[in-house]
Amino acid sequence: MDLELQGKVAVITGGSVGIGLAVAEGLAREGVHLALCARNEERVQARAGEIAQKYGVKAIGVQANVAQPGDVDRFVATVEAEFDAGVDILINNAGTGSEETIMDASDERWQYYWDLHVMAAVRLSRGLVPLMRKRGGGAIINNASICASQPLYYEPIYNTTKAALVMFSKCLANELVGDNIRVNTINPGLVLTPDWMKTATLLTENEPTTPEEYLDKIAKDNAPIGRFATPEEVADFFVFLCSPRASYCIGSTYYVDGGWLKVIT
């Protein structure tokens, strides 16, 4: 199937590792030019360079912490300067898990995750939608989580902010549909990212269980498919939703979770 993405321009936050990097590679494979941002400047520039060389597309890597309004503004300005003809795709992917109780978490911790998971998407959408209008439309995909609907007990802030991101996506979809800009959300389940490997390594440091055994148990206890997804498996769905082939997909939330969600939505 021709996904009709050749020559389009995509902006991806958290694009140097995990799902974001897999989406970047998947889009580049289809001929999409890229603007990636991440907090680690050396890594994001290296990944952008590797993608450009491998797939023959233009790819830039910009250091930015999207939880900081000033960094968002700087990133948007860089994208506008590098791709002055406009932007077609925005992937709001940057984010990370939390671990706390509601009773113990400070206001500052709540605010950090609110800025990272919600306001980053708000600010980037506000900054880049004008560049999409220049192209006659586009697609915005927000990476939320199954935890937006099925919360994990140990990360209430993550659960709450990801749920808010889903609602933001629906509201934005309604607002932009007249501009031919499609907004959707993806709620991944268990995805084998470096964050999961780091967590598993820490939790098994003084245990007889290996990190791999710990993750295998997590998968078998929760996902009917019995394993974690690879970032590439999830990225393939992102790429499809970015495509004009998904032209009737608007304002929806899609679960890519190996059957983990326990209710009908």
Give the mean pLDDT per block of 10 residues along the chain (265 residues): 97 98 98 98 98 98 98 98 98 96 98 98 98 98 98 96 98 98 98 91 91 96 97 98 98 98 91
- Number of Cβ atoms within 10 Å of the Cβ of 133: 16
The pLDDT, as a whole number, for residue 199 is: 85
Which pair of tokens denotes residue 221?
């206890």
Say what the pTM is: 0.97
Please calculate the CA angle 265-194-168 and round it to the nearest 5 degrees: 35
HSE-up of 25 (CA within 13 Å, CB side)? 17
Nearby residues of 52 by Cβ (< 8 Å), 6 or more positions away: 58, 59
Nearest to 169 by CA among 91, 68, 253: 253
pLDDT in the model for residue 134 = 96
User: What are the structural domains of the chain?
Assistant: 9-191+230-256 (3.40.50.720), 192-228 (no CATH)
Q: Can you tell me the distance from the alpha carbon of 151 to that of 98, in angstroms, rounded to the nearest whole number? A: 12
Q: Cα separation of 43 and 41, whole Å?
A: 6
Determine the pLDDT at residue 203: 84
pLDDT at 164: 98
pLDDT score for 202: 85
Cβ distance 249 to 165 under 8 Å?
Answer: no
Strands (DSSP E) contained in 85-227 are 89-92, 138-143, 181-188
Question: Is 158 labeled as catalytic in the residue annotation?
Answer: yes
Which member of 55, 113, 158, 255 is catalytic?
A: 158
Task: Measure the CA–CA gap between 230 and 19, rounded to whole angstroms.
Answer: 9
Q: Reduced to 3 states, what is the DSSP secondary structure of residue 106? A: coil
